[in-house]
């Protein structure tokens, strides 16, 4: 697999996260260990509460691990930074800014001139095919369009790693499939390391080179599955025997965890 041969981009070393709540200490993550390689697309699946979002926030630098550490290009993560872009499930667009201004936001913070920021922003707005909505405000856009803007905004600052926290979770099935194909196209064009969280097993298989299955509370890596289906993958890929075999396997693993949470 292309991803596995290349250099380690993100190194996750024995990451433990505990929260103090009113009911006492809750262990969200109990020793996560794995690597993400350069330009690799990795998906994480697991039941709600398995700590997958916590893990993403730790890689993104928005939360600190209680124990262990995360290295990006050999550098320990100590806080958020533009080398790790995040796409949130709730889009997180600035509602008072237009599409163009939203995508320019990070570029301006990097000290780029207005002209340069605009050029780069327009390039990525075109990439997500929203060139007709450059001057629109988020409230005028559909959910799928909003998430496209968020993806363009994340790409525009040219991060090394793209972290996506169930980005298509709030979208209808059709929009979701469309955005999945678009994301794959962009990923092949832009060559970025992607860490993608989802609870949708099909989504994980169609996108990822490797799928990480998490144990339910406390979160740990249960199994890492290589997805040996060649790209480009399309909707037809979902009908192939290999896909169904992988889906069956991953789903049954995840389902066991769902059951263990319900008990």
Partner 1 sequence: MKEKKVPIWSKVPSWAWALISLALAIALWLAASGTWPAVFASPEKVLNAFIERAQSGLLWEHVWASVSRVLTGFGIAFVVSIPVAFLMAWYDPFRHVVEPWIQFIRNIPPLAYVFLIIAALGIGQTSKITVIFIAAFLVMVITIYQGVKGVDVTLIKAARVLGATQKDIFFKVTIPASTPFILVAARLGLSTSLTTLMASEIVGGDKGIGMMIQQASGYYQMDVVLLGIIMLGIIGICFEKIVRFLERRFTGWQETIQQ
Question: Taking the complex as a whole, how short is the minimal distance between the CB of residue 6 and partner 1, in angstroms?
Answer: 25
User: Pattern 46-75, binding to partner 1, x per CB under 8 A?
Assistant: --------------xxx-------------
DSSP code string of 166-221: STTTTS-HHHHHHHHHHHHHHHHHH--EEEEE-S-HHHHHHH-SEEEEEPSSSB-E
**Are residues 192 and 159 in contact, defined by beta-carbon separation less than 8 angstroms?**
yes
User: Pattern 11-50, binding to partner 1, x per CB under 8 A?
Assistant: ----------------------------------------
Residue span binding partner 1 (CB under 8 A) among the ranges 93-101, 205-213, 229-237, 240-248: 93-101
Q: Which is nearer to partner 1, 99 or 246 (CB)?
A: 99
Residues 6+ apart with CB under 8 A from 217: 27, 28, 49, 50, 51, 261
Site for partner 1 in 178-207 (CB under 8 A): none
Under the criterion CB under 8 A, does residue 138 sit at the interface with partner 1?
yes
- The pairing of strands 161-165 and 84-87 is parallel
Write out the two tokens for 144. Answer: 């799928």
DSSP code string of 217-231: SSB-EEEEEE--PPS
CA distance 212 to 197: 9
Among 33, 73, 78, 94, binds partner 1 (CB under 8 A): 94
Question: Taking the complex as a whole, how short is the minimal distance between the CB of residue 86 and partner 1, in angstroms?
Answer: 5
Q: Kindly list the residues in this chain that would bind partner 1 in the complex (CB under 8 A).
A: 60-62, 80-82, 84-86, 88, 90, 92, 94-97, 105-106, 109-110, 137-139, 153, 157
């Amino acid at each position: 697999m292309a991803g596995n041969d290349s250099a380690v981009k993100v190194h996750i070393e024995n990451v433990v996260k505990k929260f103090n709540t009113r009911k006492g200490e809750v262990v969200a993550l109990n020793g996560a260990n794995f690597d993400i390689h350069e330009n690799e697309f990795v998906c994480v699946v697991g039941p709600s509460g398995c700590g997958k979002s916590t893990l993403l926030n730790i890689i993104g630098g928005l939360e600190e691990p209680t124990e262990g550490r995360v290295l990006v290009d050999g550098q320990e993560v100590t806080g958020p930074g533009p080398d790790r872009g995040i796409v949130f499930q709730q889009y997180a667009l600035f509602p008072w800014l237009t599409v163009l201004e939203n995508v320019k936001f990070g570029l301006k913070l990097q000290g780029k001139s207005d002209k340069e920021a605009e050029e780069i922003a327009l390039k990525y707005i075109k990439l997500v095919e929203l060139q007709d909505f450059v001057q629109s405000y988020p409230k005028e856009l559909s959910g799928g369009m909003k998430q496209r803007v968020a993806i363009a905004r994340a790409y525009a600052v040219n991060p090394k790693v793209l972290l996506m926290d169930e980005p298509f979770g709030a979208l209808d099935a059709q929009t979701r499939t469309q955005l999945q194909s678009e994301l794959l196209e962009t990923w092949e064009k832009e060559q970025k390391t992607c860490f993608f969280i989802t609870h949708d097993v099909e989504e994980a298989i169609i996108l990822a080179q490797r799928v990480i299955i998490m144990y339910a509370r406390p979160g740990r890596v249960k199994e890492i599955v290589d997805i040996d289906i060649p790209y480009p993958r399309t909707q037809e890929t979902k009908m192939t025997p290999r896909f169904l075999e992988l889906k069956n396997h991953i789903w049954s693993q995840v389902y066991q965890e769902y059951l263990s949470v319900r008990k």
